[in-house]
Structure 1
Amino acid sequence: ASDTERAVRAFVGEGVEVIVSLGGDGTNRIIARSAPQLDLIALSTGTNNVFPSMVEPTTAGMVAALAAMGRFPEESAFRIRTRAKVLHTVFSDGISDIALIDAVQLRDDYVGNLLPYDEAKIMRMLLTRALPDTVGMSPVGGLISVVEEKDDCGLLVEIGEKRDSDMHIKVPLSPGFFKEVAISSSQRVDLGESVTFEGEGILALDGDREHKLANNRSVSATIRRDGPWVYDVGAAMRYAVAEGMMLRPL
């Protein structure tokens, strides 16, 4: 994490305005936390990723070059880039942090744990995207109610006890690894609406277990659309062709 933070700060110091990232939700979370004003082309590597996209790297490089040269319009109407939703967390002791995809409260876990989630330890989650065609926490909500990146809301999901819940879903928590999760309730959360996590446990942000919760330490979570501007590589290339950019020297 620290090397990514140092790199982003160095880029910003050199006047960089467009970054191509190679990584997952956690890597892009650090970029967004360090420099939310940047334009971002996020390429997915690894597994369990929701925020970055599976894109041909050469094409992504072309879009990054055109963006750096200022060839794309600022107007969002062209749908070339979209400002990302960010899940902001403020703890009762004043510490703050962010996530791009999910904040998950876990019981009987510990800070720094790198093992996959045990479904029996998941208590509740707030998702900026709830997608049925992903792996990890996002499909826990996405198999109930779909929330896209373009939707100005998130989804709060409460996990129940299997013996007490009427709704049970099979979820791919990691590639090829399905587990049954009992759902107590779910509801959409508007942008700017606050959700409180309290009680004993760990709060994981985009999979990183960095924050401990206790009876005297709670956290308020709010989703806002104030993250990096993320490019749609396909839409950007189609715009470039429509404008004849490929037919003349760049």
Structure 2
Amino acid sequence: MSRLLGYGRVLIVTAVEIEQNTVLAGLGIDGQAPDALEAGAPVVVAACGVGPASAAAVTSQLLTVAVQRGAPFDVVLSAGIAGGFAGRVEIGGLVVGTESVAADLGADGPDGFQSVDELGFGASRHDADPALLRMLRQALPEAVGGPVLTVSTVTGTGRAKELVETRHPDAVAEAMEGFGVATAARLWPTTAFGEIRTISNAVGPRDRAAWRIPQALSTLRDAFATLGAH
């Protein structure tokens, strides 16, 4: 039994199809049957679209359908490529999220940014399931652990990077879906949530020429090959 399947039925949520196909390749699944969800497949990998709203909506739909079919998911993983914070994780590196943080969910003003927590309107952080996190860290010892930020607008200037690092000095990566996936997973108390990211670029001034997407996808495939191994 693989490390992942030791936890039961698994849903892996990516943003786009290239990430979905990369995860499937790592798990040794040669294409996913269209009826995988309805058929109760032990692992389902779904591309939900970009951004926390799409991630939350699609994940919630998939979890609900699974429960209605009598085969609920025990684990939900948000997975894909991301930007990494220089000095904390290398390009092509692997990150396991200790928590998923809605970094830009709140209010800006003359006194600076206030999160929804500070405003008293809710929570902007979801912790990874402790037992699942422990398994991921043991299985992937090369991974850097730390908070993964979820943003609706990718950080693309030096000034924006400084502000984000000031507010989140321990963050290791920035992506666009994790908090949405976690929000949906938390609607089902028995479902464990985790986040895995591989690094294609450094967070900061936008420079597409410096991105290393193939390298990040290769790391993603290798990570899931390890997790899917018997």
TM range (shorter): under 0.3
Structure with higher strand content: 1
State which structure, 1 or 2, has the greater radius of gyration over its C-alpha atoms.
1
Q: 1 or 2 for the larger relative contact order (CA 8 Å, sep ≥6)?
A: 2
Query: TM-score, with normalisation over the residues of structure 2?
Result: 0.26
Query: TM-score, with normalisation over the residues of structure 1?
Result: 0.25
Structure with higher helix content: 2
